[in-house]
Amino acid sequence: MWDGRFQKETDAAANDYNTSLPFDCRMYAQDIRGSMAHCRMLCRQGILTSEDADSILAGLTGIKADIDSGVLTFDSDAEDIHMFVEAELTRRIGDAGKRLHTGRSRNDQVALDIRLYLLDEVKEIRELVMKLYRTLIDKAAANITTIMPGYTHMQRAQPITLAHHLCAYIQMLQRDVSRLDDAAARMNFSPLGSGALAGTTYPLDRESAASELGFSGVTDNSIDGVSDRDFAIELAGTFSILMMHLSRFSEEIILWSSQEFAFIELDDAYATGSSIMPQKKNPDIAELTRGKTGRVYGDLIALLVVMKGLPLAYNKDMQEDKESVFDAIDTVKGALVPFTGMIATMAVRRDRMELAAAGGFTNATDLADYLVRKGLPFRSAHEVSGKLVKYCLDAGISLLDVKIDEFRSFSPLIDEDVYEAISLITCIKNRTITGAPSPDTVQAALKRAARFS
């Protein structure tokens, strides 16, 4: 490729170190797609003859078909996917293949390829997230009245429903999808035509090539066009937030499936056993998801560190962008599929959840609210309720087990209607403001969630 300037072959070790083909070969379809659009644009602009363009397009079509089918394998001596395709094209059609690179550089070529590749992957990952999203909607809809304790500081706090709890993750996934869409929109500009860094003297029609490739426009500065990797970093950041959400959920699945909680039981298809302890049923999918979240964080940090000290425009350091963002993609996709299956098939222990809500004094706030409605200031009501909780703890009973005369010894305002007021289902049904856990409110929230696409 650079025989005109260099007189010696590249050292074998240096060549191995320099090559990116082992990982950028996955972009072959995007590389060929971009080359075909570039070829057609060159022909329209009179830079290539129609005969050469037809030959190039036929050659590229054949190369893609042969790679797809496995007939053509990647040459380990090629420096990158761009040079592999160009060399193979020239081998097949002769000098016409050498004309394809007119008006472009590998700098804008790789910037184009990675944008096309990431845009394709975002579509696939978005659908995987939406599949999990719809799974959560279905699981929530089946548990509108499944009472469980809500937690703060990992202490039982107030009664909620499992549906209400799952709706929190539904909201997180909505934001994840929105971030994917936003990242794709900012990525959707073609750098083709930026050349090495200063464009070209050929009369290229960048806009028509961009339109053919499905971009919403072209990059506005040739230096930024080849040196920008914000889109890869933003996507890795979006993946990191998504994985953080899956990790938080995984932590709860791990806790809930333990014997100490026993809120759920994982399906055998999404759990593993022990080689030595026959009673074990391990939540490995959740644990791996929790662990792989750190891996995606690492990919984000690697991208940030690679880019942080680079002068404009292109530098070879930027070759390191691909392995990190590709790994993040593979990890996210690898997590979403089994995670969705795990959630879809897990069995809910409604009895255990309700027992935990009843035994954790989660209705203590509602007792205080009851006293407020009777005319007691909230701070005083809070104190009375706290004293009753202490009384119950000492006696080993719940608030609902307290006799009416015992209640009245703490406050004469308490009457027989207290039992209805602090029953768990009443505590939940009375929370009817937007975003709260009453069944009607959650039903409305799920209807809104179902409209999100």
Measured N-to-C along each axis, helices 162-187 and 230-256 cross at an angle, to the nearest 10 degrees, of 170
Instruction: Enumerate residues 6+ apart whose C-beta is below 8 A from 146.
Output: 161, 162, 163, 348, 350, 353, 354
The one-letter amino acid code at 450 reads A
Domain presence at residue 291: yes
The domain boundary residue, chosen from 351, 371, 390:
351
Beta bridge partners of residue 152, listed in sequence order = 155
* Residue 148 φ then ψ, to 5°: -150, 165
Question: Are 286 and 389 found together in one domain?
Answer: no
Residue 56: which CATH number? 1.10.275.10
CATH number at residue 378: 1.10.40.30
Q: What does 310-321 look like in DSSP terms, one character per residue?
A: PPSS--GGGGGH
Alpha carbon distance 357, 146 (integer Å)? 11
User: In this structure, is residue 19 part of a structural domain?
Assistant: yes
- The structure tokens listed for 205 are 């029609």
In 302-388, DSSP assigns E strands to 347-348
Give me 244's structure tokens.
């953080």
Asked whether residue 294 falls in the same domain as residue 389, the answer is no
Q: Which residues 6+ apart lie within 8 Å of 63 measured at CB?
A: 32, 72, 85, 88, 89, 92
Question: Are 58 and 160 in a shared domain?
Answer: no
**CA-based nearest residue to 227, from 83, 105, 329, 86:** 105
Q: Residue 67 is part of which domain span? A: 12-102
| pLDDT given at position 13 | 81
In this structure, are 34 and 182 located in the same domain?
no
| In contact, 98 and 90? CB cutoff 8 Å | yes
User: Does residue 2 lie within any of the structural domains?
Assistant: no
From the list 343, 147, 176, the residue with the least C-alpha distance to 245 is 176
Q: Report the Cα 117 to chain-centroid distance in Å.
A: 17
DSSP 234-296: HHHHHHHHHHHHHHHHHHHHHHHTSTTT--EE--GGG-B--SS-TT--B-HHHHHHHHHHHHH
pLDDT at residue 11, rounded to an integer:
72
User: Which of these, 144, 142, 146, 136, lies nearest to 351 by C-alpha position?
Assistant: 146
Which residues are within 8 A (CB) of 400 and not within 5 positions of it... i.e. 6 or more apart?
358, 363, 419, 422, 423
Taken in order 369, 375, 378, 383, the sign of the CA dihedral is: negative
Beta bridge partners of 190: 218
Q: How many CB atoms lie within 10 A of CB 237?
A: 18
> 239 and 274, same structural domain?
yes
Give the catalytic positions in this structure: 153, 274
CB atoms within 10 A of CB 354: 18
The residue assigned the tokens 């990982």 is 23
pLDDT at residue 5, rounded to an integer: 59
Both tokens of residue 289? Answer: 């998801």
Write down the pLDDT at residue 3.
Answer: 60
For the chain, what is the largest distance between any 2 Cα atoms, rounded to a whole number of angstroms? Answer: 101
Contact 256, 264 (CB under 8 A): yes
pLDDT score at 197? 97
CATH number of 270's domain = 1.20.200.10
pLDDT in single tens digits along all 453 residues of the chain:
556 656 667 777 877 787 899 999 999 999 999 999 999 999 999 999 999 999 999 999 999 999 999 999 999 889 999 999 999 999 999 999 999 999 999 999 999 999 999 999 999 999 999 999 999 999 999 999 999 999 999 999 999 999 999 999 999 999 999 999 999 999 999 999 999 999 999 999 999 999 999 999 999 999 999 999 999 999 999 999 999 999 999 999 999 999 999 999 999 999 999 889 988 999 999 999 999 999 999 999 999 999 999 999 999 999 999 999 999 999 999 999 999 999 999 999 999 999 999 888 999 999 999 999 999 999 999 999 999 999 999 999 999 999 999 999 999 999 999 999 999 999 999 999 999 999 999 999 999 999 999
Query: What is the tally of structural domains in the chain?
Result: 3
Residues 274 and 187 in one domain: yes
Closest CA to 328 of 104, 65, 114: 114
Element (H, E) at 151: strand 147-152
* Together in a domain, 346 and 367: no
Angle at 188 between CA 182 and CA 193, to 5 degrees: 155
Contact (CB, 8 A) for 217 and 228: no
Is 436 among the domain residues? Answer: yes
Of 308, 336, 351, the one marking the end of a domain is 351
- Please indicate, yes or no, whether residues 226 and 373 belong to a single structural domain of this protein: no
In a domain, 7, yes or no: no
User: What is residue 48's three-state secondary structure?
Assistant: coil
Same domain, 312 and 178: yes
Write the DSSP symbol of residue 375.
T
187 shares a domain with 77: no
Length of the chain: 453
Q: Identify how many contiguous H helices and E strands the chain contains and give both numbers.
A: 19, 6
Q: Which of 168, 141, 179 lies closest to 332 in space, CA to CA?
A: 179
State the pairing for strand pair 347-348/264-265. Answer: antiparallel
Please give the Cα distance from 173 to 179 (Å, whole number).
10
If asked whether residues 347 and 414 sit together in one domain, one would say: no
Last residue of a domain, one of 102, 133, 153: 102
Residues 93 and 169 grouped into a single domain: no
